Amino acid sequence: MTPTLMPRTFGLALSLVALAASPLAAQLHPSTMLGEVCAPTFEAAPLRLLRQLSLDVRGRIPTVEESQRLLDAADPDAELASMREEMFAGPEFARTTMEYHRGLLWTSLDRSLVALDGGDRRLSRDRGRDIWFVNNRKSRYRGNNAFLCDDVPHTTFDAEGRPLPMRQIEDGRCTANRRGGICDIDGTVMVAPYWDPENPIKVCAFDANDVLTRPDGQACSFADNSQFCGCGPNLRDCIPGFSGNGAGDTHARALQAGFTEEPLRLIQSVVSEGRSYLEVFRTRETFVNGPVAHYYRYNSGRNLNQAQTTTQVAYDMRIPEENLAGLAATDTASWRRIERGPEHAGVLTTPGYLVRFASDRARANRFYTAFYCDPFVPQSDGIPAEEENPPQNLRERNGCADCHQELEPAASHWGRWRNGGSVGYFDPADISFREPYEPCICEGGRCNRNFCNAYFVTPQNSDGMELTRYQGHPIAAAWLEEDDDASDYANVETGPRALVDMPNEVRRVAECAVRQLAEHLYGRTVDAGDFMWLAEQANAFDGDGDAENADGTFDWQALFERLVTDERYLGTR
């Protein structure tokens, strides 16, 4: 494809300006750099190759000093080899590794934070009065959504410090929590928020309540919906939403950025430590920074019963506090390696992946496309006209079966991970894929529990044979299959790591990794003429397919180095 004129023009101009402004411009003149060589060729001039390497390995052009060093070298080829080693050893290659994989994972959570704060703990700001509050809890605190706190200092508290109403309003709309037409109105308090402790903000007193127990003695928590529980000390149990709120927005973006960067950090660590690339899809390790650590400390960890209060189930992963100690909520720069539960599978179970790809099928499709190089493509003449009484099972439906015969087993690897923009895991101890979940067997034709309708087969989201056979089962359990050779149920229980546990799967990952990186570096499609070469490169990457755990195999950096020293790279311009 031909890119647009503007970026190309701009890029060319920038490069030339940088070059022309240099005192070495005369020596580094393109005619000198390029000689009389025009693409395609296998005889790249050293300076041109230096520039190409630097852009690919470090993401920037060489410095004037580096160019001079090459010009001055008695043996330019040897000097270039030395400089190449330095590039791979330098910190910029780590960034290159992350950015390359950002392209494969399509990592972006721009519009997805809603799933991570669960909605009912999101702080908003009344801009006119500069007062913070939790929009989704207005009704619970005061009796009706129409009422917010007064803009006066709150002065009435019970003996333990819980705010009591400053005044009451008689209004027929005030019916929440059996209030009988009476709404409770609070004032405001000043709070130093955890995301910007130096600058206190004005918060409605009910929302700012920092007493950690209810009047009946039960503990308040992130998952608690009681009117007697607020956002806790320094508002720690709540998350500021995006709404032009200065430091609040900054924290929300930092949290978003943290979850976005997590899988890329994970991959970068695997690569830089020379570990098997397969760890990217298998390891229980991951990385957290300050905002993400705060999230795990105070905004995560609902149990199954608590999670059922909303469809937007917050991430229920628990990280021991000792693993997070010392990471302040405002510390975006420090990243710490932590261990997750055995259900995890590298990047494939990070929030950045699960939220970005909101359905099990989307998750499988991205994995197959990016890491097997095998996208799901319908038959060339397209989906046919709808048949009479089309089967609900997509593996059997005319036109759908082409993809879904393979896609459904692939998607089943994420069967226990929640979807729809939320992140969470249905523990086998709580949820079976072979038996219905009793609370979600909704008799009488309607199911009023949002949680059930979101994740389980109910009359609200299903009918016909599917409802008859699977009512109360997880939606992901519908139409699973098993025979002597394969079991979707086994995929569910093993999780995404099972996508890289068989020799043929490992080989697919190896070949695809070579293909993807080669096409990235060479700027062209790997075609039939490259197949032998591709196989050789894949052999070098996976140790001929039989030495997965041997030293030096699945070393992605080594693969990168091989590809930029291959003659195909020298012919790239």
Q: Which is nearer to other proteins, 317 or 452 (CB)?
A: 452
The helix/strand/coil state of 221 is: coil
For residue 218, the tally of other CB atoms under 10 A from its CB is 12
Q: Which is nearer to other proteins, 159 or 385 (CB)?
A: 385
CA dist 373 → 396, 409, 511 (Å): 25, 17, 8
Interface residue list for other proteins (CB under 8 A)? 1-2, 4-6, 8-9, 12, 16-17, 19-21, 25, 29-31, 34, 36-39, 111, 311, 358, 362, 365, 369, 375-378, 380, 382-386, 390, 420-421, 450, 452-456, 458, 460-461, 475
Q: How far is the CB of 419 from other proteins (least distance, A)?
A: 9
Q: What is the DSSP letter of 42?
A: S
Q: How far is the CB of 108 from other proteins (least distance, A)?
A: 12
Q: How far is the CB of 465 from other proteins (least distance, A)?
A: 13
Q: Which is nearer to other proteins, 330 or 365 (CB)?
A: 365
Q: How far apart are CA 205 and CA 550, in angstroms?
A: 61
Q: How far is the CB of 375 from other proteins (least distance, A)?
A: 4
Rounded to a whole number of angstroms, the distance between the first and last alpha carbons of the chain is: 16
Q: How far is the CB of 236 from other proteins (least distance, A)?
A: 28
Q: How far apart are CA 299 and CA 192, in angstroms?
A: 18
Q: Which is nearer to other proteins, 20 or 550 (CB)?
A: 20
- Which residue type does 418 have? R
Q: How far apart are CA 71 and CA 54, in angstroms?
A: 16
For residue 540, the tally of other CB atoms under 10 A from its CB is 17
Q: At 541, which helix (H) or strand (E)?
A: helix 531-542
Q: Which is nearer to other proteins, 300 or 311 (CB)?
A: 311
Q: Which is nearer to other proteins, 36 or 483 (CB)?
A: 36
C-beta separation of 416 from 431 below 8 A: yes
Q: Residue 126: beta bridge partners? A: 131
Q: How far is the CB of 12 from other proteins (least distance, A)?
A: 7
Q: Which is nearer to other proteins, 204 or 514 (CB)?
A: 514
* CA 321 to mean position of chain CA atoms: 22
According to DSSP H, which parts of 113-246 are helical? 114-117, 138-142, 205-208
Q: How far is the CB of 366 from other proteins (least distance, A)?
A: 9
According to DSSP H, which parts of 64-204 are helical? 64-72, 76-89, 91-105, 114-117, 138-142
Q: How far apart are CA 549 and CA 553, in angstroms?
A: 7
Q: Which is nearer to other proteins, 194 or 315 (CB)?
A: 315
Q: Which is nearer to other proteins, 270 or 442 (CB)?
A: 442
Q: How far is the CB of 469 from other proteins (least distance, A)?
A: 17
Q: How far is the CB of 116 from other proteins (least distance, A)?
A: 15
Q: Which is nearer to other proteins, 291 or 421 (CB)?
A: 421
Q: Which is nearer to other proteins, 7 or 128 (CB)?
A: 7
Residues whose CB falls within 8 Å of the CB of residue 320, separated by 6 or more in sequence, listed in order: none
Q: How far is the CB of 362 from other proteins (least distance, A)?
A: 7
C-beta separation of 311 from 451 below 8 A: yes
C-beta separation of 252 from 295 below 8 A: no
The pairing of beta strand 182-185 with beta strand 285-288? unpaired
Q: How far is the CB of 516 from other proteins (least distance, A)?
A: 12
- Which residue type does 178 have? R
The helix/strand/coil state of 122 is: strand
Q: How far apart are CA 175 and CA 536, in angstroms?
A: 72
